[in-house]
Amino acid sequence: MADRDQEIFAAEFALGTLNAAERAEAEALRATDRDFAERTAQWEKLLSPLGETSPPGQVPPSLWARIEAQIEHRRSETGGLREQVSEQVDAMRRSLAAWRTAALGAAAAAAAIALMWFGGLEPPMSQQQSPPRYVAMLQGDEGKTGFVVSMALNDMQFVIRPVSAETLKAKSYELWAIMKDGKPPMTLGLVGTGAYAMMDAPPEIDPQELEKGVQLAISLEPAGGAPKGQSMGPIVFAGELIRLMP
């Protein structure tokens, strides 16, 4: 369509003379073509003073109540959901805190083990520009390491290696990331007790957030994972994702 026609089409859309099919076409164009959207906005603005001259109408008194009811309805929907999620986060954090108290003595040892574990994988000094690597020792309440999780910042992929986690029959282990920003725990997926597993970090995880500290936790869920992506089961292993080299 020639430039001139686009301009007229935008003007006719703004004025409102397009029939249903043409209007649908213009709407589609407006949603996908920034230039066309800009043109329609300019025409709408040009015509908008005329809106002041439209004689007022007799508003039915019931209209405000209808609008208010809609607002209430939406608020209770989103508010309820927010409450539910935040309760769940609280429960998970409480569970993590309890675990942390029990495993306090193991923390320093865990970091040392992590260094030993991955020491062999560290690049030589000449390659120190390589992307940062992170590791977490996920331990249970007796200080036993259930899993070791590592990740390199360049590929944002978690490598999960089972250490002493028992193989489960009717349940599944599910790995969660809990960021410091207070958002709900994010599921990273189910982890088995086979050789090792690799999983991509969800796009919601901002690499910058990793520096602020991320708790990883493994919960015990019904076979197949937490229903609706919300953890129901107890946390059995947890640990902080720490940067391997300063």
> Does position 98 bind another protein by CB under 8 A?
no
Which residue, 74 or 212, has its beta carbon nearer to another protein? Answer: 74
Question: CA 58 from chain center: how many Å?
Answer: 47
We find the least distance from the C-beta atom of residue 7 to another protein, in angstroms, to be: 9
Determine if 208 is a binding residue for another protein (CB under 8 A): no
The separation between CA 26 and the C-alpha centre of its own chain, rounded to angstroms, equals: 34
User: Cβ 84 to another protein, closest distance in Å?
Assistant: 20
Residue 1 interacts with another protein (CB under 8 A): yes or no: no
- Owner of token pair 């007022």: 56
Residue 168, SS3? coil
| Cβ at position 69, least distance to another protein in Å | 10
Instruction: Compute the distance between CA of residue 70 and CA of residue 85 in angstroms, rounded to an integer.
Output: 23
Ranges within 7-26 binding another protein (CB under 8 A): 8, 11-12, 15-20, 23
Q: d(Cα 184, Cα 202) in Å, to the nearest integer? A: 13
Q: Return the range that interacts with another protein (CB under 8 A); candidates 45-53, 150-158, 181-189, 213-221.
A: 45-53
Query: Angle 165-145-170 (CA atoms, 0-180°, nearest 5)?
Result: 20
Strand partners, 162: 147
Choose which of 31, 67, 98, 121 interacts with another protein (CB under 8 A). Answer: 67
* Contact with another protein (CB under 8 A) among 1, 34, 55, 119: 55
157-162 and 145-152 as β-strands: parallel, antiparallel, unpaired?
antiparallel
Give the range of 57-65, 86-94, 121-129, 228-236 binding another protein by CB under 8 A.
57-65
Contact 65, 38 (CB under 8 A): no
Contact segment (CB under 8 A) with another protein among 39-47, 90-98, 196-204, 224-232 equals 39-47
| Cβ-based neighbour number of residue 48 at 10 Å | 10
| Contact status: 36 vs another protein (CB under 8 A) | no
Q: Which of 2, 34, 49, 126 binds another protein (CB under 8 A)?
A: 49
Q: Are 230 and 176 in contact (CB under 8 A)?
A: no
Does 61 contact another protein by CB under 8 A?
no
The distance from CA 182 to its chain's CA centroid, rounded to whole angstroms, is: 12
Is 243 one of the binding residues for another protein (CB under 8 A)? no
Asked if 47 interacts with another protein (CB under 8 A), we say yes
Phi, psi dihedral angles at 179 (to 5 degrees): -85, 165
In this structure, what are the phi and psi dihedrals at residue 60, rounded to the nearest 5 degrees?
A: -60, 135
Q: Which of 1, 2, 3, 56 binds another protein (CB under 8 A)?
A: 56
Binding site for another protein (CB under 8 A): 8, 11-12, 15-20, 23, 41, 43-60, 63-64, 66-67, 70-71, 74
